[in-house]
Amino acid sequence: MTLDAPRADDAEPRVLWRHVGALRRRLWLERVLGLEARALAIGFGVALAVAVGAWATLTPLVPAHYGGPVAAAVGLALLSSLFRYPSPMDAAKAADRRLGLRERIGTAVELAGLGVQGSLARRQLATAVDAAGWARQNWRAGPSAGRDLAVAAGLGLLAAAVILVSSLEDRLPAAIPRPSIWSLLPGDPSSAERAATDDPAGASGPATLARAETSGRTAAVVRSLEDLRRARQSGAIGAGEAADRMAQAESELSRQTQDSRTQREALDRLGRALDQVAAGRPAAERIQRGEYDRAGEEITTLGTESDQLSPQAKAQLAQALRSAAAESQAAPDLAARERRASDALPGRDYEPARRAMKDLGDEVARRGQNVIPQQELAQAWDRLDEERRSQGPGDSLAAAQRQARSNGSQQAPQAPRGAPGSQSSASAPGSEPGDAGPGDPEASGPGDGEGADPVGAASLTPGAQSVGEFQPAGQARRLDVQGRPVEVDVQPGQQPGQRAGDQDPRNERPSDQLGAISAISGEAPGRVSAAVPAESNFVPSERRQVVRDYFSSGEGR
Amino acid sequence: MTSSAISVEGLQDTARAIEQEIARVIVGQEAAVRGVVIALLAGGHVLLEGLPGLGKTMLVRTLSDAVHLHYSRIQFTPDLMPADVCGTNILAEDAAGNRHFSFQPGPIFANLVLADEINRATPKTQSALLEAMQEHTVTVANNIHAVPEPFFVLATQNPIEMEGTYPLPEAELDRFFFKLHVSYPSRAQLAEIVRRTTGTLADPVRRVADGPTILEMQSLVREVPVANHVADYAVRLVLATHPDTDGAPDQTRRFVRYGASPRAAQAIVLAAKIYALFSGRFNVAFEDVRRVAPPALRHRLILNFEAEAKAISTDAVIQAVLKAVPEEP
């Protein structure tokens, strides 16, 4: 039924209409607010989802991503509210319901619209006018208004928090680890690369991906670089200060890289020791893959099942651990546990052996937590280089130093290092000057010679092995590095492809103390400028034979 | 729409006076008394149900005294015939010696008829009331005789001692405006009953109204406006008692065989109007509808065997319906 203005000429219906008109406006405003609150709740909810998605998929979050849904929802709600102006009966019913007026106003509105007839109807109208006037003074918002506002506020706060965390993530002491499943999303550009790099055969599954996640330890450096870039762009700092801050960041990153490398090398030695015994190979493989938690579990399991090992296997394993302990001077805790395990294993008592192996496993897991993933280090160095390039033309020496450090950080034990670093080390000793021509000094990276991504993903992934894919034994071919920059160890081992530190623990030195050479000009190791930072890539144990075959075949010369 | 001579205040005062006069005799039973007065003003009939000795008959007699109406009592028994209720033609002889049939009105020709223990008469006799209750006329030998106005039937029935009784047919039940329960008095009320009935005789009931006043009141209450959405609520309540209706509550679907008739909706709205007036309002509220729904619906719902087996009462179903049906659809 449509109710129009009162037909009667009486004043009361008109007064009633005036009161009801005020009630309609209030109800409409309330509806607008309610709609807006719900729209805000929906918008905030969408923004929250977007922020979480962006955070999980490493997608940069711009204000339009979260502001857009909120603005759209609010706009739609406003538009919708324009068409929802309440009718007089709606307002009357709302007033009756909220204020307990027992349908006085609703009945009167109906009577006024239809024309008042009868004494009782007139009296009802009179009481309704009073009630409507009272309702104007005592209007009470609906019960859902507060709830909607609370929901909207809650969602808004939550969304703001997530957006804040997303934007400040790299400024936090330790980034919040993302679930590993997110690293497989198409939106993550490095996921496929990481997966392929960590597990070319695809056999290790999600556990491999877990190691590819960022540890967040380089976040402070990256953040300082970001700050530096912003400050430089805004002109807040001068060139000198920028250079100082750049040097600080580089120093810190070098330190982190070296620490991580020390940890990883100690674990690698243990992995090689375990690899010599059949029972220890699962743990060795885990270490090679960088899955230190799983490696620790494998070692613990090995200790638990040590009573199943033959005396010969125990002795062999003990010997291997002893050898590893002898080499792990830089990691005394690990060496001590290795030694204890090697002492306990050959014994008759099961419990000490199990406990010693468990301690060793725990130490491996603990130490593994201090290893910064290759991708993260590479990205940090990449960031550093970008920043340095953006500051202006840098000297090749500094670039070479950075390159050497970053390459040193990439010595992942599991990586199929057919990547440039290993190729260069292989080719350097016998390389002819013409094989590796002088490239662009700026393009000192080990990649394809373009030099734009010295330590980036291209140098970490099989797909980026532009110089030459890894070939199994017997299929080695000549490295196609002519005219491209490569780097080699300054102190190669006694044999080609053999790392110096593998033979003599005394050779174990930080990378920045290692002399470095560059094969850019095909110089022999002794003639390499000492200003070039060290290249500390090495050939993984399982691939050394490939390299030996390569050189022994004469192709490498 | 015609205006009544009596004012709203006069109606309220008269109704209040009737209740007060009844309360001088009947202790407690306020709800039953209020229901009887509402039915009287609505022009409906009341079925009073209660155990023997609770004052059902006394209530009716007191009411007749208070409103000064012609009162007639019919004691329903199994051998009661329709003619005993409605009257019959008898052979009469005039002064000239001519014989002719003359209509001898039965006890139903009264303003206020008490059908005591109505369920003890046969359905044939019970049905004799149908025309009078609905049409306010009695047809005997093709002659239609109007009953006096106001015409008000109050029937009583005993919920126990069901042996030798005849449950009222649905058509008969539907003609009752309200079905009211007369409950057992509380301790204090019982003490008061004892005090009143064993002491000195109290003053007789005052006459506070008469037939014309009642008719004016009946006319006035119909002027109370009811908003469409409130009337719609009453309609939805009635519809919700039908098991085959969409949106009927689960209790209805499970336990009701036949729902309430349209007379139920009429009774609810009319009774709600009167209740609103008694409450000092000039319009019907949802609350009024809810208040009068149980007495208007309880005798109009026919429960199924499952409900009887589980001792589900119509009142329980009505409460479920009231809970399930929202005020605004």
Q: Count Cβ–Cβ pairs < 8 Å, chain A vs chain B.
A: 62
Domain B8-216 has CATH 3.40.228.10: no
Strand B152-157 versus strand A516-518 pairing type: unpaired
Q: Supply the pLDDT for residue A40.
A: 87
Q: What is the DSSP string of A461-527?
A: SGGG--S-----TT-------TTS--EEESSB-SSTT-BHHHH-GGG---GGGS-EEEGGGT--GGG
In this complex, do A103 and B227 lie within 8 Å of one another by their Cβ atoms?
A: yes
Across the interface, whether the CB atoms of A128 and B283 are under 8 A apart is answered: yes
Q: Is the pLDDT of residue A36 over 60?
A: yes
The closest CB to that of A123, out of B8, B228, B287, belongs to B8
Tens-place pLDDT, residues B18-56? 998 888 888 888 899 999 999 999 999 999 998 888 888
B 278-297 residues with CB below 8 A of A?
281-287
Q: How confident is the model at residue B236 (pLDDT cuts 50, 70, 90)?
A: very high
- Note whether A107 contacts B223, CB cutoff 8 Å: no
Residue with the larger pLDDT of the pair A540 and A95 = A95
Q: What is the pLDDT of residue A185?
A: 41
Q: Which residues of A touch B (CB under 8 A)?
A: 1, 89, 93, 97, 102-104, 106-108, 110-111, 117-121, 123-124, 127-128
Closest CB to B285: pick one of A102, A110, A117.
A102
Contact A405, A254 (CB under 8 A): yes
Are A102 and B220 within 8 A, CB to CB?
Answer: no
- Comparing alpha-carbon positions, the chain B residue that sits nearest to A108 is B227
Looking at residues B286-312, what average pLDDT do you find?
A: 92
Chain A contact present for B326, CB below 8 A = no
Residue-wise pLDDT for A245-263, tens only, equals 888 888 888 888 888 888 8
| In chain B, domain spans | 8-216, 224-324
Q: Does the pLDDT of residue B2 top 80, yes or no? A: no
The minimum CA-CA distance between B231 and chain A, rounded to whole Å, is 11
CB nearest to B223's CB, from A97, A106, A120 = A120
DSSP state of B313: -
CA–CA–CA angle A70, A75, A78 (5° rounding): 125
State chain B's mean pLDDT as an integer. Answer: 88
Q: Which residues on adjacent β-strands are paired with residue B99?
A: B93
Identity of the residue in B1, B3, B283 whose CB atom sits nearest the CB atom of A107 = B283
Tens of pLDDT, residue by residue over B117-137, are 888 888 888 888 888 888 889
Where does the pLDDT of residue A114 fall: very low under 50, low under 70, confident under 90, or very high at 90 and above?
A: confident
Q: Encode A231-291 in three state secondary structure.
A: HHHHCCCCHHHHHHHHHHHHHHHHHHHHHHHHHHHHHHHHHHHHHCCHHHHHHHHHHHHCC
B104 bridge partner residues:
B88
Do residue B229 and residue A106 have CB atoms under 8 angstroms apart?
yes
Cross-chain Cβ contact A119/B287 below 8 Å: no
Mean pLDDT of A86-99: 89
DSSP A532: S
Interface with chain B: mutation pick from A120, A123, A125, highest number of B CBs within 10 Å: A120
The per-residue pLDDT for A458 is: 36
Work out the minimum CA distance from A112 to partner chain B, whole angstroms. Answer: 11
Q: Which residue of A has its CA nearest to B279?
A: A102
Residue A87 or A471, more confident: A87
Q: Give the closest-approach CA distance of B55 to chain A in angstroms.
A: 35
| B325-B180-B137-B91 Cα dihedral, nearest 10 degrees | 150
In the predicted structure, residue A463 carries a pLDDT above the cut 60? no
- Give A283's pLDDT tier (boundaries 50, 70, 90): confident
Q: How far is B33 from chain A (nearest CA, A)?
A: 25
Confidence of residue A486 (pLDDT cuts 50, 70, 90): low
Which residues from chain A sit within 8 angstroms of residue B286, using beta carbons? 102-103
The residue of chain B nearest to residue A101, with distances taken between CA atoms, is B285
pLDDT, one tens digit per residue, over A298-349 is 888 888 888 878 888 888 888 888 888 887 777 788 888 888 888 888 887 8
Q: Give me the helix-helix angle, B211-221 and B8-25, nearest 10°.
A: 120
Nearest to B3 among A102, A110, A118 (CB): A118
pTM beyond 0.80, yes or no: no
Q: Give φ, ψ of B50 to 5 degrees.
A: -175, 165
- pLDDT tens-digit series, residues A434-460: 333 333 434 333 334 333 333 333 333
The whole-number pLDDT of residue A555 equals 53
Q: Name the most confidently modeled range: A383-387, B130-134, B220-224.
A: B220-224
| Residue in A93, A97, A103 to test binding to B, most B beta-carbons within 10 Å | A103
Per-residue burial over A312-330, b = 16 or more CB atoms within 10 Å of its CB, e = otherwise? ebbebbbbbbbbbbebbeb
Whole-angstrom distance, CA of residue A486 vs CA of residue B71: 124
Which chain B residue lies closest to A110 (C-alpha atoms)?
A: B227
> For residue range A307-316, what is the model confidence (pLDDT) as tens digits?
878 888 888 8
Strand, coil or helix: A202: coil
Find out whether A253 and A197 touch, Cβ atoms under 8 Å: no
pLDDT over 70 (residue A516) = no
A55's enclosing H/E stretch is: helix A11-57
B328 touches chain A (CB under 8 A): yes
Question: What is this model's ipTM?
Answer: 0.83
Task: Kindly tell me the sign of the dihedral angle through the C-alpha atoms of B64, B151, B44, B158.
Answer: positive
Q: Residue B145 belongs to what H/E stretch?
A: strand B143-146
pLDDT top residue among A39 and A175: A39
**Residue A242, φ and ψ in degrees, nearest 5:** -60, -40
CATH number of this structure's domain B224-324, picked from the four choices 3.40.50.2300, 1.10.3860.10, 1.10.8.80, 1.20.1300.10: 1.10.8.80
**Is residue A433 within 8 Å of residue A521, measured between CB atoms?**
yes
CB B54 within 8 A of CB B183: yes
**CA distance, residue B51 to nearest chain A CA (Å):** 37
Least confident of A237-246, A431-440, B176-185, B216-225: A431-440
Closest CA of chain A from B295, distance in Å: 21
Q: Average pLDDT of chain A?
A: 68
Closest-CA distance, B281 to chain A, in angstroms, reads: 8
Asked if residues B275 and B327 have their Cβ atoms less than 8 Å apart, the reply is no
Evaluate if residue A466 carries a pLDDT over 50: no
Would you tell me how many other CB atoms lie within 10 Å of the CB of residue B215? 17
pLDDT surpasses 60 at B180: yes
So what's the pLDDT on residue A520?
A: 39
pLDDT band at A487 (very low <50, low <70, confident <90, very high): low
- The span from the CA of B102 to the CA of A424, in Å, is 137
- Cα dist from B65 to B22, B37, B45, whole Å: 9, 13, 17
Which two tokens mark B101?
Answer: 């049939």
Residue of chain A nearest B8, judged by CA positions: A120
What are the beta bridge partners of residue B137?
Answer: B146
- Nearest CB to A107; choose among B3, B223, B227: B227
pLDDT band at A407 (very low <50, low <70, confident <90, very high): low
pLDDT at A70 over 70: yes
Instruction: Give the strand pairing for B152-157 and B112-116.
Output: parallel
Contact map slice: B 3-32 vs A, CB within 8 A: 3, 8
**Between the CA of residue A436 and those of A468, A481, A485, A537, what are the distances in Å?**
14, 6, 6, 18
Is residue B217 less than 8 Å (CB to CB) from chain A? no
Contact A123 B224 (CB under 8 A): no
Residue A483 pLDDT: 53
pLDDT at residue A219, rounded to an integer: 78
What's the Cα-to-Cα distance from A266 to each of A141, A343, A479, B12, rounded to whole Å? 69, 19, 31, 101
- Do β-strands B256-258 and B178-182 pair in parallel, antiparallel, or remain unpaired? unpaired
Question: Is the alpha carbon torsion for B292, B294, B295, B301 positive or negative?
Answer: positive
Task: Kindly report which listed range (A179-193, A290-304, A337-351) carries the lowest average pLDDT score.
Answer: A179-193
pLDDT tens digit string along B147-157?
998 899 999 98
Residue A120 to residue B287, Cβ atoms within 8 A:
no
Q: Are A107 and B225 an interchain contact pair (Cβ–Cβ within 8 Å)?
A: yes
What pLDDT score does A511 carry? 41
Q: What is the pLDDT of residues A346-369, one digit of tens each?
A: 887 888 888 888 888 888 888 888
More confident residue, B275 or A495: B275
Residue A67 has pLDDT above 70, yes or no: yes
> Residue A371 has what pLDDT?
83
Q: Higher pLDDT residue, B110 or A246? A: B110
Q: Is the predicted pLDDT of residue B217 greater than 70, yes or no?
A: yes
The whole-angstrom distance between B282's CA and the closest CA on chain A is: 5
Residues of A in contact with B1 (CB under 8 A): 117-118
Percent of chain A with pLDDT over 70: 61
Q: How far is CA A348 from the centre of its chain?
A: 47
Question: What are A149's two structure tokens?
Answer: 């506002």
Please check the confidence at residue A415 and state whether its pLDDT lies above 50: no
Does A492 have pLDDT greater than 70? no
Substitution target from B224, B282, B328 for chain A, most A beta carbons within 10 A: B282
Distance CA B160, CA A289 (A): 89
Q: Does B234 touch chain A (CB under 8 A)?
A: no
Report CB contact under 8 Å: A106, B224: no
Whether the link from the prior residue into B150 is cis, omega within 30° of 0, is: yes
Better-predicted residue by pLDDT, B106 or A4 = B106
Closest Cα in chain B to A104: B283
Distance between alpha carbon A429 and the CA centroid of its chain, in Å?
38
Residues facing A492 on adjacent strands: A499
Of the two residues A66 and B219, the one the predictor is more confident about is B219
Res B278 pLDDT > 60: yes
Q: Which residues of A touch B285 (CB under 8 A)?
A: 102-104
Task: Give the pLDDT band (50/70/90) at residue A506.
Answer: very low
Tokens of A363: 């130490």
Q: Is B223 on the interface with A (CB under 8 A)?
A: yes
Work out the percent of chain A whose per-residue pLDDT is above 90: 1
pLDDT, average across residues B212-230: 91
